[in-house]
Amino acid sequence: MAWLLVIVAGVLETGFAICLKLSHGFTRLWPTVAFCVFAIGSFGLLTLSLKKLDVGPAYAVWTGIGATGTAIYGMVFLGDVVSTLKIVSISLVIIGIVGLQMSGSAH
């Protein structure tokens, strides 16, 4: 259950990063409100998960989901540049997260 919380928190992190961009420096109301909701939800769920999980692997998964989700969303929907290096880098983040999980350091 704790890992499910981390995964949902990571998806919410993607949401708050995207809303941060769409808020244009907190000058647009609804993206700013959405940013606040996603950020509170993300940090809240991460906090709950850390009651049962080691901080290192949980934080790596949370940030990895947020970073990869945000990068992919940006490339698909926001016109961010797509490059081989960017795709390889996202893949390396995912490989690193899987490696941490397989290292046995997580519960």
Enter the pTM of the model.
0.89
Is 9 in contact with 42 (CB distance < 8 Å)? yes
Read off the pLDDT of residues 31-78 as tens digits, 9 standing for 90 and up.
999 999 999 999 999 999 999 999 988 999 999 999 999 999 999 999
Q: What is the CA radius of gyration of the chain?
A: 15
Containing 74, the helix (H) or strand (E) segment is: helix 55-77
Interval 20-38 mean pLDDT: 98
